[in-house]
Amino acid sequence: MFKNPFSSNGRIRRSEYWVTILLYTIGAGVINIVLEENNDMDILGLAYIPLLWLLIAQGAKRCHDVNNSGWMQLIPFYGLWMLFQEGDNASNNYGKNPKELNSDFENTSERPVYSIPKSAPEEVKPRAIVIPKIPQNQTTVLEVANVNYSLIQDIMKSLRTIQLIHNHSYEFSGTTATITIRHSDTSQTLLDHLFPIMNNIEVRGVGDGFITLKMK
């Protein structure tokens, strides 16, 4: 609004012409009041010149908005018609529709497009799967309390059925047997295999390389 207000080129909307009439009326009224109260300020009457120029230039552009010559505003009461008549929706002989000019900046097709560079995805390196190494030549001393010779023989036969055992030997003293077992995997794994073949056992201790049991 009010771009080059003293130029008669182009077109303006009704709203801008309404504001022009309002500004002209207020400006002229202020000048008249000052001149009436101060007779020695007649030179102030020159202020009418830019006001009248503004009114004529804006009136010409309002005539252009309805595709008429600016001289049409000199017709009596034609100015009242210009206050209410809607302008041409499309471009005419005097330029583009001022509504289109006001909305040009909203046209997304004319906006510069800025692309935000996407950072390259970080390379995900596969994690190495660490498989715990199973000991192959582990020795565990199995001490079994509260047994007799016959029970020890049964235990020794049952130990031969466990696949992770390589070989085994025993010593017998009183009611306690000490069995030395060479096997794969850990002592805890060996103990897990003993439960199915040895009934009624009580585990008194287990660690790396030893197992202590008592027959109930």
Domain boundaries, the chain: 14-104, 138-215
H or E stretch at 210: strand 210-215
- The pLDDT score that the predictor gives to residue 111 is 52
How many other CB atoms are found less than 10 A from the CB of residue 212? 15
Across the range 61-74, mean pLDDT stands at 83
Per-residue pLDDT for 116 more than 80? Answer: no
- The pLDDT score that the predictor gives to residue 119 is 59
Per-residue pLDDT for 124 more than 80? Answer: no
Per-residue pLDDT for 107 more than 60? Answer: no
**Domain 138-215 classification at class level:** alpha beta
Model confidence over 8-46: pLDDT tens digits?
Answer: 788 888 888 888 889 888 988 888 888 777 776 667 778
176 or 58, which is more confident: 176
Which phi and psi angles does 145 have, rounded to 5°? -100, 160
